[in-house]
Amino acid sequence: MPLMLTPDQIEFFNTQGYLVVDDVLDTATLGAVKSEYADLLDSLYAGWQAEGRVPADATGLDFWQKLLISYKAGCDWFQPMDISLPGGEIAADTPFHFGPAVFDMLTTPRLLDMVEDLIGAELTSNPIQHVRLKPPAVTLHSDELRAHVTATDWHQDRAVAHETGDKTQMVTVWLAISDATVENGCLQVVPGKPQMYPHCPQKQTAIAPGCLDETKALPLPVKAGGAVLFHPLTPHASLANRSDRFRWSFDIRFNVTGQPTGRAHFPAFIARSRSAPDSELRDWRLWQAMWHDTRARLSGQPHIPIHRWSADSPVCA
């Protein structure tokens, strides 16, 4: 198969642990995702209006204005908009979002071509995946700690999964739905592929203090539709959103089919298989049903931690 990435890009990823690629998602894909989320927010907002939590008149308000009004009112849009179950307790009615536009985004051929160039043609869509809609920092609640809403602390993706996935060939793809700039809180990385750093589950699960040389941090701005790819051991974080607008992205992962995902209690699916194309999942409704079934199975059961770190470790003192 022809390569989407050049040999130089592949070599850069393999030595530096990251790669920025423009124009991964086309205009139609971006538009469909935005439209799907606008409809979702309208539905949520109508419910909050009925409860008297947000203004009854939404005439003239756009997506971003509704999102900010809802956040300031204490209405949680993050979990209903996320493309995963939470890492904490799961109930029978825990909300999430799995729709056709998001599924098409995760399985768009150009995206899969790019990942195939890095880890091969047997690709599983890993269940560690999230939406990130980050408000301007000045609007955040003082107690806001969620990495999907505020700035994300330094961490490694391999570290925020179970040890079963430590040998898995995996790539994280961070997809920009809006332009990501230094001002509005783009990703930053420390290049290279070091060893696993110890992490501490404090405000967020983050690399233990003093273990990472943050002076080597490199910001990675990218235009809407572009992607940042990184190796699961590449340390990364996000800058704070110092702009007056939201920043929107998704982070998703792919691993070699048959290898552990690092979060076995959540569902994965085969996104591409050159050897067995009939095994590919092509119906978003089946993807949605997998997560509904998982929620039903996990609700009311003892909580399964999503990583292996303990706050009482000596490095966390």
Q: What is the dihedral of CA 252, 296, 70, 154, to 10 degrees?
A: -40
Burial letters for 221-250: b for 16+ Cβ neighbours within 10 Å, e otherwise? Answer: bbebbbbbbbbbbbbbbbbbbebeebbbbb
Q: Please tell me the predicted confidence (pLDDT) of residue 54.
A: 97
Could you tell me the maximum CA-CA distance found in the chain, to the nearest angstrom?
Answer: 57
pTM for the predicted model, two decimal places = 0.95
What is the per-residue pLDDT across 27-40, written as a single tens digit (0 to 9) for each?
A: 999 999 999 999 99
Q: Assess whether pLDDT exceeds 70 at residue 259.
A: yes
> How far apart (Å, rounded) are the C-alpha atoms in residues 234 and 232?
6
Mean pLDDT, rounded, for 220-244: 97
Mean pLDDT, rounded, for 244-269: 97
Mean pLDDT, rounded, for 117-139: 97
> How far apart (Å, rounded) are the C-alpha atoms in residues 158 and 309?
12
Whether the CB-CB separation of 70 and 54 falls below 8 Å is answered with yes
Tokens of 42: 């309208």
Mean pLDDT, rounded, for 86-114: 97
Phi, psi of 75 (to 5 degrees): -85, 125
Q: Please tell me the predicted confidence (pLDDT) of residue 146.
A: 87
Q: Please tell me the predicted confidence (pLDDT) of residue 78.
A: 96
Q: Please tell me the predicted confidence (pLDDT) of residue 93.
A: 97
What is the per-residue pLDDT across 34-69, written as a single tens digit (0 to 9) for each?
A: 999 999 999 999 999 999 999 999 899 999 999 999
CATH class of 15-26+99-301: mainly beta
How many C-alpha atoms does 71 have within 13 Å on its Cβ side? 23
Residue type, 41: L
E strands within the chain?
18-21, 122-134, 170-176, 187-189, 199-201, 205-207, 218-220, 227-230, 236-238, 247-256, 269-273
Q: Please tell me the predicted confidence (pLDDT) of residue 314.
A: 83
Whether the CB-CB separation of 223 and 176 falls below 8 Å is answered with yes
**What SS3 class is residue 247?**
strand
Q: Assess whether pLDDT exceeds 70 at residue 1.
A: no
Whether the CB-CB separation of 125 and 252 falls below 8 Å is answered with yes
Whether the CB-CB separation of 151 and 205 falls below 8 Å is answered with no
What is the per-residue pLDDT across 162-218, written as a single tens digit (0 to 9) for each?
A: 999 999 999 999 999 999 999 999 999 999 987 899 999 878 899 999 999 999 999
Whether the CB-CB separation of 152 and 199 falls below 8 Å is answered with no
The overall average pLDDT reported for the chain is 95
Burial class (CB in 10 A: 0-12, 13-18, 19+), 56: exposed
What is the per-residue pLDDT across 262-314, written as a single tens digit (0 to 9) for each?
A: 999 999 999 999 999 999 999 999 999 999 999 999 998 999 988 888 888 88
What region does 192 belong to: left with phi over 0, alpha with psi -120 to 50, or beta? left
Domain boundaries, the chain: 15-26+99-301
> How far apart (Å, rounded) are the C-alpha atoms in residues 205 and 152?
9
Q: Please tell me the predicted confidence (pLDDT) of residue 2.
A: 56
Closest alpha carbon to 174 in 129, 118, 109: 129
Q: Please tell me the predicted confidence (pLDDT) of residue 241.
A: 97
